[in-house]
Amino acid sequence: MRLRRTLAIALVSCFIFQTTWAGGSNKELKIGISQEFENLNPLIMTMSATVYIYSMVGRALVTLDAQSKWVPQLAESIPSMEKGTAKLVDLNGKKKIVATWQIRESAKWGDGKPVICEDFAFARKVAASPTVSIGEKETYTQVEKIEWDLKKPKVCTFTYDKARWDFYTLGRFYPLPKHLEEPIFTKHGSKKEGYEKNSLFVKTPTNPGLYNGPYLISEVKLGNHVTVTPNPQWDGEKPKIQKVIIKLIPNTGTLEANLRSGQIDMIGTLGLLALDQAISLEKKVKSESLPFKIIYTPSVTYEHIDVNLDNPILKDQKVRQALVYSANREEMVKALFEGKQEVAEHFLSPKDPWYTNDPKLVKIYRYSRREATKLLEEAGWKMGPDGIRIKNGKKLSLTFMTTAGNKTRELVQVYLQEQWKQIGIEINIKNEPARVYFSETTKKRKFDSLAMYAWVSSPEQNPRPNITTKNIPNEKNGWSGQNYPGWSNKAVDLACENLDVEFNPNKRRQLAIKISQIYSEEVPVIPLFYRSDVSVVPPDLKNYVPTGHQYSETGFIESWTF
């Protein structure tokens, strides 16, 4: 009897183990991500993880698909001069573009209220407020005004403040439900961060009227998980999966363990699974016949280190250049990623038509301890008796920060710490949870020296929010903008302005190359590598297509199916 009982338990355990590994279904899908999410208000959100989640429940007029083609979402179609739905006009001596956007007739918020022009105009009003912290205000303020006929509330006339070639690329211009959020903005909007803290997205994030996408937020547990379920008011392709749970597992090692144990069914691109983990897991999938598929997607994601230019040591361009010369990035990507990720020369990726690595056009840094040493000596930093350089009695010591628990970044930190020690630079590692790191430390420029993270962009995207003077976050502008190094260069500012209004594609590319040249020379940011996005999915999950850019694959989640 004892033997039979043991055998029965073993069989049951085996059955449970195999059932747990079913890998998700149209009934429920559990996705693991390793980056924390924050405020679900689309105007306020800055973290990629939040965008990843919001893209399931909220939509803009247009988005960029996996083929890097702009496609309509809430809009019926994309306005163009060829179709006559957009035109170049002269208003008071200034060239502008006027475009007509038709919102889908049946587009609704989750509470049944129609999505109308007023919702976009209200979002623009909130975003333009000096008391509201927005990652990139110009996404909204580039639209000078929005007008409509009261009898046609879904036909919106957008007047753009400049005649920009990319006027239709409004993938981050989200509407706000005016009928819900306007009373809150009216009451609290005059106080700094008053609206953000009192928005229904914070107070009652499960209110269905906040969302207009294929899913609704049905449960939020900050620091743990978000659950979404189908939106009955959604007028597009009906979602096939009835419940999606996005689980936060900050440690990527634990993320893989949860995948193998069946606690999650897949790891999305925001799992930020280390490439070496992915390679190792892929070998296990083959050798152990595990029910997973590993997907590598070359991306425009740019892993880099922001340099705080307010730091007296780092104000010196020679010190910044020495940091790049002394980092053997070629060896690093081979050792850590088996060469599956490419060394970055600057902020543009090889997937971008504006990219160049021509040494005649941009400064290229090849590993050279000799060149790094020469630059530090010229900057007055002499080697001290303990192997750390000294100048005016002060050590060449820097603090290096990134997101705690991210295995890849922690490995890169240790690698660079050793590289820089060899030329006499002391590196002190200090990491923080992603939620604190992104919402406070980087956003408010509280990092002392070096801050590592990634920029996620799109091909032919103006780098303005990350590098122009007006996008340096400070208390006066409500910590808006993402120029965390605090870099200010008049030539770059002007080139970014001209980039928007240059309709000739060849001339646009020349402007982008000029920006890349100055950027690579002055080194406000230390380039590391262009990431490959990694996903681990059940083999029978269909229509899952990672995009490789900032517009997440979850923008098309309604078509995912088993």
One-letter identity of residue 424 = G
Q: Is the pLDDT of residue 223 over 90?
A: no
Residue 376 backbone dihedrals phi, psi, to 5 degrees: -65, -40
Q: How far apart, in whole angstroms, are the C-alpha atoms of residue 518 and residue 506?
A: 19
Task: Find the mean pLDDT for residues 147-173.
Answer: 94
CB 45 within 8 A of CB 58: no
Task: Find the mean pLDDT for residues 118-123.
Answer: 98
Closest CA to 400 of 379, 425, 422: 425
DSSP state at residue 87 = E
DSSP one-letter string for 255-273: HHHHHHHTS-SEE-GGG--
Q: What is the pLDDT of residue 548?
A: 85
Task: Find the mean pLDDT for residues 363-376.
Answer: 97
Q: How far apart, in whole angstroms, are the C-alpha atoms of residue 194 and residue 477?
A: 14
Q: To the nearest whole number, what is the mean pLDDT of the chain?
A: 92
Model confidence at 79, pLDDT cuts 50, 70, 90, reads very high
Q: What is the pLDDT of residue 22?
A: 52
Which CATH number is correct for 298-532, 3.20.20.150, 3.10.105.10, 3.40.50.1370, 3.20.20.70?
3.10.105.10
Closest CA to 500 of 512, 488, 489: 512
Structure tokens of 308? 């705080």
Structure tokens of 36? 């924390």
Q: What's the pLDDT tens digit per position in 29-64?
A: 999 999 888 889 999 988 889 999 999 999 999 999
3-state secondary structure at position 196: helix
Model confidence at 3, pLDDT cuts 50, 70, 90, reads very low
303 - beta bridge partners?
A: 454, 529
Model confidence at 67, pLDDT cuts 50, 70, 90, reads confident
CB 541 within 8 A of CB 291: no
Q: What's the pLDDT tens digit per position in 508-556?
A: 999 999 999 999 999 999 999 998 889 999 999 999 999 988 899 999 9
Q: Which of 16-20, 102-106, 210-214, 228-232 has the lowest mean pLDDT?
A: 16-20
Structure tokens of 196? 């953000």
DSSP state at residue 37 = -
Q: Is the pLDDT of residue 300 over 90?
A: no
Q: How far is CA 450 from the centre of its chain?
A: 19
Q: Is the pLDDT of residue 20 over 70?
A: no
307 - beta bridge partners?
A: 450
Q: How far apart, in whole angstroms, are the C-alpha atoms of residue 302 and residue 533?
A: 11
DSSP one-letter string for 301-335: EEEEEEE-TTSTTTTSHHHHHHHHHT--HHHHHHH
Q: What is the pLDDT of residue 10?
A: 35
Question: 10 Å Cβ neighbour count for 368?
Answer: 15
Comparison of pLDDT for 272 and 349, the residue scoring more:
349
Q: What is the pLDDT of residue 8?
A: 35
Write down the CATH number for the domain with range 59-185: 3.90.76.10
> Where are the domains positioned within the chain?
22-39+201-296+533-559, 59-185, 298-532
Q: What is the pLDDT of residue 457?
A: 75
Q: Is the pLDDT of residue 248 over 60?
A: yes
Q: Which residue spans within 92-142 are E strands per DSSP?
A: 94-102
Q: What's the pLDDT tens digit per position in 88-103?
A: 999 888 999 999 999 9
Query: Checking DSSP bridges between strand 143-149 and strand 215-221, what pairing results, if any?
Result: unpaired
Does this model's pTM top 0.85? My answer is no
Task: Find the mean pLDDT for residues 376-399.
Answer: 97
- Host H or E run for residue 90: strand 86-91
Q: What's the pLDDT tens digit per position in 163-191?
A: 988 999 999 999 999 999 999 999 999 99
Q: How far apart, in whole angstroms, are the C-alpha atoms of residue 96 and residue 144?
A: 10
* Residues contacting residue 368 through CB under 8 Å, at least 6 positions apart: 325, 326
CA torsion angle 401 403 405 411 (round to 10) = -50
342 - beta bridge partners?
A: 530
CB 73 within 8 A of CB 62: yes
Model confidence at 21, pLDDT cuts 50, 70, 90, reads low
3-state secondary structure at position 151: coil
3-state secondary structure at position 91: strand
* Domain 22-39+201-296+533-559, classified CATH 3.40.190.10, yes or no: yes
Residue 283 backbone dihedrals phi, psi, to 5 degrees: -65, -40
